[in-house]
Amino acid sequence: MIDLSTLSVFLLAVLAFFLSPGPNMAFVLSHGIAHGPRGGYAAALGIAAADLVHTMFAAVGITALVAAWPPSFDLLRYAGALYLAWLAWQALRRPGSAAISQGENGSLMRVFRMAMINNLLNPKALLFFIVFLPQFVDAGRGDVQLQLIALGAILAIAGLAFNAVFGAFSGQVGKYLERSPRAVRYQSWFLGSVLAALALRLLLLDRPAGR
């Protein structure tokens, strides 16, 4: 369905995208440092789940419908900025309490949900899936929807692998910082500051031309 040469170019483009610092990388980094490796893994899983949702929306045309509605970009970015600002406030008001223990699966699910919702409310992510994936689709090689789903699934799996490794690394940094009582106090402040910066970034996004 997808020829090897197209897949190779797609994977190279995806790798270049992953290596470029962005909100997903910042989200995984901050939660890995604040919550340890398990927090980084949870954030990586949430981002991958959101990527799969974006893929399905793009394949069935929902993303195109949303993108065609002029106010959608602003509504998404304002909702995403408010959500991130709320998360930042939650982190900043409880400094030093960010660490997740091995048995707190509920807290890990919370990180998973936060990462997923943050990605879904990012208008740049919506536009990315409607612009990026179709470039690698060949209508002459079968069902277009299936190709979009396959490419999106590959992107989500590759993203999960990349972010999981990055989450493990940032988690080890967080565990190292835990040895210092003073550093522990600032882990939540770091997390809150990153989330606040991401909220500000969303508010300052330029609306795409023609919208």
Instruction: Give tens-digit pLDDT for 194-206.
Output: 888 888 888 887 6
pLDDT reading at 46 higher than 90: yes
Helix, strand, coil fractions of the chain, as percent rounded to 5:
80, 0, 20
Residue 175 lies in a domain: yes
Residue 88 falls inside a structural domain: yes
Percentage of residues of the chain with pLDDT beyond 90: 27
| Residue 11 backbone zone (phi > 0: left; psi -120 to 50: alpha; other: beta) | alpha
- Cα separation, 187 vs 175, in Å, equals 11
Domain that holds residue 74: 23-203
Residue in the structure block whose two tokens are 């910082």:
177
- Tell which wins on pLDDT, 25 or 99: 25
Question: Once rounded to an integer, what is the mean pLDDT over residues 94-119?
Answer: 71
Looking at residue 135, what is its pLDDT?
86
Q: Is residue 1 part of a domain?
A: no
pLDDT tens digit string along 137-188? 887 877 888 889 999 999 999 999 999 999 999 988 877 776 666 665 667 7
197 occurs within a structural domain: yes
- Of the pLDDT bands very low, low, confident and very high (cuts 50, 70, 90), residue 211 is very low
Question: Which residues, 6 or more positions from 94, have their beta carbon under 8 angstroms from its beta carbon?
Answer: 188
Sole residue written with tokens 């106090």: 185
Is residue 47 one of the residues assigned to a domain? yes
Is residue 48 in a domain? yes
In this predicted structure, which of 21-35, 103-117, 122-136 has the lowest mean pLDDT? 103-117
Residue 151 resides in a domain: yes
Report the predicted TM-score, pTM, of the whole model to 2 decimal places: 0.82
Q: How far apart, in whole angstroms, are the C-alpha atoms of residue 54 and residue 179?
A: 39
Question: How many domains is the chain partitioned into structurally?
Answer: 1
